[in-house]
Structure 1
């Protein structure tokens, strides 16, 4: 399994401009691909539970 941090560094280069980098990632990453990442699935499940607890969903 590839190291996610190494993959991001290779994709984005060594810059430290998080706002620009995350903006670019947001425009290029497909949600169906992101849904394969266990940490992302856990985060979305936790977010859903929190929103349901607050009656947003």
Structure 2
């Protein structure tokens, strides 16, 4: 697959996101409602299934 400069940055950001979720989610309440979508929990939003 040939990447243009925009795709390269996109790929770099996507690969960095799991580490950011892990770092920023430490100690989070995964049962908390998501303000913009209160029928969802934080756990459901990030896909942990720990809610």
- TM-score (normalised: structure 2): 0.31
Please identify which structure carries the higher strand content.
2
Higher normalized contact order (CA 8 Å, seq sep 6+, divided by chain length): 2
